[in-house]
Amino acid sequence: MGMIRTRLLKPDQIQEAAELLRQGQVVAFPTETVYGLGANALDPRAVEAIFAAKGRPQDNPLIVHIGSQNQVEELVREIPPEALLLMEKFWPGPLTLVLKKKDLVPDVVTAGLDTVAVRMPDHPAALELLRSTGFPLAAPSANISGRPSPTRAEHVYADLTGKIPAILDGGETGWGVESTVLDCTAEPFLLLRPGGVTLEDLRAVVPVQYGEPASGAKADQTPRSPGMKYRHYAPEALVFLVTGGAAAPKILELSEPYLKRGERVGVMTWNERTHLYPGLSVLPMGSEGDLEALAHSLYHLLRKADVLGLKALFIEGVSEDNLGLAIMNRLRKAANNREIRT
Ligand code: TXA
Ligand code: MG
């Protein structure tokens, strides 16, 4: 595939984005979580172009986005009553439900699984795009595979310019971490990826099981959520996640060899703790304990590590309550499970 010119479309140019999608092309668009790279979910050739642009492994299935709740019935064979409760409570919003698929959904979307992941995004531009084309959009996050997900049009541009025809610029996304993925074919429902709708939110409505997959799941096994086995959200720097009460002295100690070699070291820490790290490049996480604000800026901070040319990045762990579960899940992946407990 040769280089193509990537157009930046403004929100009043949604119709141009819709026209490209009708022609079977891919378009990046904003959602309330992160930017997605969309194509007609019912057109296998259009969907193949998503995998090509991202460099995404073929065995990692895509989420299908819909513009109205009744569209789900075209895509899935059955909806358990508990799943219906969740749709009514959390759609449109950052909750993806994995359900048994109908034959209409092409294999390339689901990587050959007999299930399909569906969500209705809560973003005016995404909903207008979906309603205008009339077909569902398969869309993974609009980053090069393995990089942090994009929360600004400029992140998409940095990764995919020359590879896709257009980016619909809707400004910064809201949540900043991806949707929650819930397998509704398991009993009880199984949380595959924590996200914007928290485990606490879900459990207030239905029973949900959750256990982190064993780290480094073998490539030859078929995991329940195929995306989980890949390295994710990773900047170029070597990333370390440091948890516990004595994080600061540990980080200073581990930084020393890098600093002695004249290499730049970064630390992600709460605003109130930045003074603990003289000599390090500080990426402030926001005011202490504000998990919403941290989720919102998380991927921007990870991308900044690259811009700053950091050799190593130390990240202070946060609480795993509420949105913290999604944040720590992403941080563990960014750190490739290099976790230091103090
Ligand atoms: O917030 C989001 O979910 C964003 C926006 C664009 O909607 N999308 C997103 O897509 O994060 P992606 O492709 O980066 O992540 C989709 C996740 C992957 O972990 C994938 O393995 C899982 O959902 N998934 C998709 N279909 C599945 C299925 N049928 N069964 C199990 N897991 C599935
Ligand atoms: Mg992704």
Residues 154 and 95 in one domain: yes
CATH number for the domain spanning 270: value is 3.40.50.11030
CA of 90 to the centre of ligand 1 (A): 17
Task: Indicate the burial class of 88 (C-beta count within 10 angstroms; 0-12, 13-18, 19 or more).
Answer: exposed
Q: Flag whether 39 is in a domain.
A: yes
* From 181, 233, 298, 299, mutation site for ligand 1 pocket: most ligand atoms within 8 A of C-beta: 181
Residues 271 and 149 in one domain: no
Question: Which of 193, 209, 225 is the last residue before a domain boundary?
Answer: 209
Give the C-alpha separation, 77 to 169, whole Å: 35
Is the distance from CB of 233 to CB of 333 less than 8 angstroms? yes
Residues 246 and 199 in one domain: no
* From 62, 63, 222, 330, mutation site for ligand 1 pocket: most ligand atoms within 8 A of C-beta: 63
Q: Flag whether 232 is in a domain.
A: no
Task: Indicate the burial class of 216 (C-beta count within 10 angstroms; 0-12, 13-18, 19 or more).
Answer: exposed
Q: Flag whether 307 is in a domain.
A: yes
Question: Which of 209, 227, 261 is the last residue before a domain boundary?
Answer: 209
The stretch 205-232 carries a mean pLDDT of: 64
Residues 201 and 267 in one domain: no
CATH number for the domain spanning 106: value is 3.90.870.10
Residues 295 and 157 in one domain: no
Atom of ligand 1 nearest to the CA of 117: 26
**How many domains does the chain fold into?**
2
Give the C-alpha separation, 244 to 46, whole Å: 47
Is the distance from CB of 122 to CB of 67 less than 8 angstroms? no
Checking if the pLDDT of 50 tops 60, the result is yes
pLDDT at 225: 66
The stretch 255-265 carries a mean pLDDT of: 97
In angstroms, the Cα distances linking 299 to 63, 98, 112, 232, 338 are 20, 25, 30, 11, 18
Residue 215: band (very low, low, confident or very high) from pLDDT cuts 50, 70, 90: very low
Residue from 111, 133, 162, 140 nearest 24 by CA: 133
Residues 112 and 181 in one domain: yes
Question: Which of 189, 209, 229 is the last residue before a domain boundary?
Answer: 209
Checking if the pLDDT of 338 tops 90, the result is yes
Write the pLDDT tens digit of every residue in 76-95: 999 999 999 999 999 999 99
pLDDT at 234: 80
| This prediction's pTM | 0.94
User: What phi, psi does 160 have (nearest 5°)?
Assistant: -120, 5
Residue 129: give the domain boundaries: 7-209
Q: Flag whether 229 is in a domain.
A: no
Is the distance from CB of 248 to CB of 280 less than 8 angstroms? no
The residues near 178 (Cβ < 8 Å, ≥ 6 apart) are 33, 34, 94, 141, 149, 193, 195, 196, 326
Q: 299-338 in b/e burial notation, b at 16+ Cβ within 10 A?
A: bbbbbbbbeeebbbbbbbbbebebbbbbbbbbbbbbbbee
Is the distance from CB of 277 to CB of 248 less than 8 angstroms? yes
Minimum CA distance residue for ligand 1 atom 29: 116
Q: Flag whether 233 is in a domain.
A: no
pLDDT at 6: 98
